[in-house]
């Protein structure tokens, strides 16, 4: 893993990765301890349930998301956020299309692999 991103990142100069299935991701900044990413969901897109060793905080920028964390589902709208503990099973659906900011600690090494 590259040790860290540049100190400044500019949205129009930073790659947006098409993840398929209506999802796109853009790195906002990272080092070994922390990572922030922007995720776009097309209308009806699903972030399938998964778990990882990282603590995660997700902030809803735009749209409506149905988040499930360890079997509990809540509807989150712009300005809302959720904390996902390490190894918690979680996922989200986006009936409207929307944008999230995800932060992880430590950084998600798998997001940086080629």
- Paired with 16 in beta bridges are 26
Domains (range + CATH), the chain: 11-111 (2.60.120.10)
pTM beyond 0.85, yes or no: yes
- Paired with 74 in beta bridges are 67
Question: Is 68 within 8 Å of 20 (Cβ atoms)?
Answer: no
pLDDT in tens, the chain (114 residues): 568 999 999 999 999 999 999 999 999 999 999 999 999 999 999 999 999 999 999 999 999 999 999 999 999 999 999 999 999 999 999 999 999 999 999 999 999 876
Peptide bond into 114 cis (omega under 30): no
């Amino acid at each position: 893993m590259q040790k860290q991103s540049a100190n400044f990142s500019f949205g129009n100069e930073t790659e947006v990765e098409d993840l398929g299935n209506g999802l796109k991701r853009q790195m906002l900044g990272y080092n070994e301890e922390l990572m922030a990413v922007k995720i776009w969901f097309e209308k009806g897109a699903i972030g399938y349930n998964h778990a990882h060793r990282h603590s995660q905080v997700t902030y809803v920028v735009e749209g409506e998301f149905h988040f499930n964390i360890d079997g509990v589902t809540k509807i989150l709208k712009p300005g809302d956020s959720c904390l996902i503990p390490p190894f918690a099973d979680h996922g989200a659906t986006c009936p409207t299309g929307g944008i999230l900011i995800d932060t992880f600690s430590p950084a998600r090494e798998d997001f940086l692999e080629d």
